[in-house]
Structure 1
Amino acid sequence: MKTKKLILFTFAILCFGYMATAQRGVRIGYIDMEYILESVPEYREATTQLEGKVQRWKQDLEKSQKEVDQMKLNLANERVLLTPELIEEREEDIKVKEDEILTYQQARFGPNGDLMIQRRQLVQPIQDQVFNIVQEIAENKKYDFIFDKSADVVMLFAAKRNDISDEVLRSIERAGRRVQAQSKKEKREIEMQERLSPEKQEAMTEREKEMQAKREEREQAMAEKKEEREQAMEEKRSELDKALEEKQQEREKAIEDRKTEREEMMAKRQQERDSIRAAKKQEFEERRQKMIDDRERRRDSILNARQKN
């Protein structure tokens, strides 16, 4: 019903405007506020921050709800063991917790909650700026009506040539550049652009878009080349590291081989020394045994001689 009344009211205004300006024709334009908002970097950044807050609020609600569910489960499991007074106390605790959740939910997501307030605070400055720019454009270009495409007004058809959203965006961007301009040269360039006709401004904007596209294309190509160079350098580093590792393994193997050879050589020499010592010891034992045998024979010979005499 509200929409129908709005359509009839809009139609009546259009008819009245057409009758009043039949000699020159009615000039109608429109904007898309949602498109404008989404194209403003500050709005996107603030929206992202607000979404982060919303996610934290939702997590707080989920955490509190899980606590309530656990309290109800514990009460159900322990009800037969509790006295009526304790059951009543537990149920009161659960109700208090549920009331806290409801209060928190209303405070964050209700009609007058933090989410709605911060969204209004986020959108209001840009809406005010758009309103002032639309007034200026309407006066300069002699528009009779300018609508917001994203509002409740039903637009069954809208020719693209009547869309002044990009023109509003350019004005917002120029205002931002004026605020950010530091040198006198930058300020003069902005003033010269603002003195140009809308057609020339649009042509300049198109050239700037083309130049920006070419810059982005060059930057993309440079980034790809840089990535290729880094990848090639990484491959070379990997090959060098692999070669160094192989050489290190070869050196370690050579050192281990030399160590094994020395150990084998030392073991062989030790074996030879042990063999020589064993041979000398055996020879010494043989000489000693021979001397003992010779003494015993001489002694036996002397004893035999004495016995004969």
Structure 2
Amino acid sequence: MRKQFLFIILALIVVNTSQAQTKSTKIGYIDMEYILQNVPDYKEAQTQLEQKAEKWKQEIETKKLEINKLKEALKAEKALLTNELIDERETEIKFLESETLDYQQQRFGVNGDLIRQKSALAKPIQDQVFTAVQDIAEAKKYDFIFDRSSDLTMLFAAKRYDVSDQVLRVITRSDKREQLTKKQLAIEEAKENKETAIDENPALQERQKILEERKAARDKILEDRKLEQEAKIKAYEDNKKALRDAREAKKNGTVSETVKTDTASPTSTETAKTTAEDARAKQEEARTKQVEERQKLYDERKKALEERRNKILEEREAAKKAREQKAKEDKEKQENTTNN
């Protein structure tokens, strides 16, 4: 009877543990500053606001310079002025200083024009961000999504939990849809689905990064080949033109300008040869860089796999020790029960 009761308790503990693991909390975060800086309309409006703020600063500096000039003039003429005139000028200077300070507070104070206009500028984008965050949270079953740039202190946040790029895609999606055809919309949706899958899978993110690096290396090689080919074509055309000019000069009994130029400077063939050698050198450098990057990625993966393997072995060893300890405790309890 006692053994059956113990078995039931253990079964309930196992069931509760598995349910808790199944219903794990899903957390993400956004970086509002990063999102704002990547919204074109906000960036343009922010640039205009910064220009306006710079103009306000210049106005304040101009006022301060005028006040300093009045102070210097008063200091130079003070010995020649009556007390009444001195008091009058000092009063004027104090009034201008007070006026300048008020203007500075009006523009750059806590509740000044700059702060208010920044808030007004960011509010429409923030509303869109909040809506996009709610949509993403509901669609992907997030329990919490935090703002990294707010007062919330985040001592560490793994990049895989960052949904800022997803929010940016949601915000810009509506503007794009208005300008696309049905076929383009289908292509855009497929691209978005692929990007979303990459965002949610760290392995896919790493793979996508490697593919992009390989593509960049291939594009560089193709560009170098294109430059080399263009250099060869140009050299051929220059040689052809030089021969044609030489034949014409021979017919007319004169020396062509092309031949003169060729005798005074390096030939077009040599120039083309140098260009081709430079292109080959760049191509070789790109290949070397690609090999180094691949080796680096291989080493990083190898290191990560080794760390993961060691971690798994440690976890297994800890689990084994825990099982042995539990078996020992169960055995002791059973012996105590038998003795009793």
* TM-score of the aligned structures, taking structure 1 as reference length: 0.57
Q: Is the 8 A contact 2:31 2:147 kept in 1?
A: yes
Give the Cα–Cα distance (whole angstroms) in 2 for the partners of residues 196 and 210 of structure 1: 15
Give the one of 196, 199, 211 matched to 1:198.
196
Q: Shift of the alpha carbon at 1:176?
A: 2.6
Other-structure match for 1:163:
162
Give the Cα–Cα distance (whole angstroms) in 2 for the partners of residues 35 and 171 of structure 1: 15
1:199 corresponds to which letter in structure 2? A
After TM superposition, where is structure 1 displaced by more than 6 Å over at least 4 residues in a row? 200-204
Give the Cα–Cα distance (whole angstroms) in 2 for the partners of residues 145 and 34 of structure 1: 19
- Aligned partner of residue 111 in structure 1, secondary structure: coil
Q: Shift of the alpha carbon at 1:42?
A: 2.1
Other-structure match for 1:47:
46
Give the Cα–Cα distance (whole angstroms) in 1 for the partners of residues 196 and 116 of structure 2: 37
1:133-186: per-residue Cα shift (whole Å, max 9, x none)? Answer: 11011111111111111111111221221111111122122123124x154544
Give the Cα–Cα distance (whole angstroms) in 1 for the partners of residues 96 and 47 of structure 2: 31
Other-structure match for 1:36:
35
Q: Shift of the alpha carbon at 1:70?
A: 0.6
Q: Which has the larger radius of gyration?
A: 1
Matches within 5 A, 1:142-221: 142-179=141-178, 181=179, 183-190=181-188, 198-199=196-197, 210=212
1:163-221: per-residue Cα shift (whole Å, max 9, x none)? Answer: 11111122122123124x154544454456567783179889x69x959x86xx68xx6
- Aligned partner of residue 29 in structure 1, secondary structure: strand
Other-structure match for 2:95:
96
Other-structure match for 2:58:
59
- Aligned partner of residue 146 in structure 1, secondary structure: strand
Give the Cα–Cα distance (whole angstroms) in 2 for the partners of residues 25 and 148 of structure 1: 21
2:41 corresponds to which letter in structure 1? E
- Aligned partner of residue 153 in structure 1, secondary structure: coil
1:249-288: per-residue Cα shift (whole Å, max 9, x none)? Answer: xxxxxxxxxxxxxxxxxxxxxxxxxxxxxxxxxxxxxxxx
Q: Is the 8 A contact 2:160 2:199 kept in 1?
A: no
Q: Shift of the alpha carbon at 1:28?
A: 0.5
Give the Cα–Cα distance (whole angstroms) in 1 for the partners of residues 68 and 172 of structure 2: 51
Structure 1 residues without counterparts, runs of 5 or longer: 1-18, 244-309
2:130 corresponds to which letter in structure 1? F
Q: Shift of the alpha carbon at 1:116?
A: 0.3
Matches within 5 A, 1:257-296: none
- Aligned partner of residue 25 in structure 2, secondary structure: coil
Q: Is the 8 A contact 1:178 1:187 kept in 2?
A: yes
Give the Cα–Cα distance (whole angstroms) in 1 for the partners of residues 31 and 195 of structure 2: 23
Q: Is the 8 A contact 2:26 2:141 kept in 1?
A: yes
Other-structure match for 2:25:
26
- Aligned partner of residue 152 in structure 1, secondary structure: coil
Give the Cα–Cα distance (whole angstroms) in 2 for the partners of residues 197 and 190 of structure 1: 10
Query: Which sits farther off after the overlay, 188-197 or 86-95?
Result: 188-197
Q: Is the 8 A contact 2:27 2:143 kept in 1?
A: yes
Give the Cα–Cα distance (whole angstroms) in 2 for the partners of residues 152 and 79 of structure 1: 54
Q: Is the 8 A contact 1:68 1:98 kept in 2?
A: yes
- Aligned partner of residue 150 in structure 1, secondary structure: coil
- Aligned partner of residue 30 in structure 1, secondary structure: strand
Q: Is the 8 A contact 1:174 1:190 kept in 2?
A: no
Q: Is the 8 A contact 1:109 1:115 kept in 2?
A: yes
- Aligned partner of residue 147 in structure 1, secondary structure: strand
- Aligned partner of residue 29 in structure 2, secondary structure: strand
Higher normalized contact order (CA 8 Å, seq sep 6+, divided by chain length): 1
1:108-130: per-residue Cα shift (whole Å, max 9, x none)? Answer: 00111110011101211111111
How well do the aligned residues superpose, as a CA RMSD in angstroms?
4.0
Structure 2 residues without counterparts, runs of 5 or longer: 1-16, 239-256, 261-340
Give the Cα–Cα distance (whole angstroms) in 1 for the partners of residues 85 and 79 of structure 2: 11
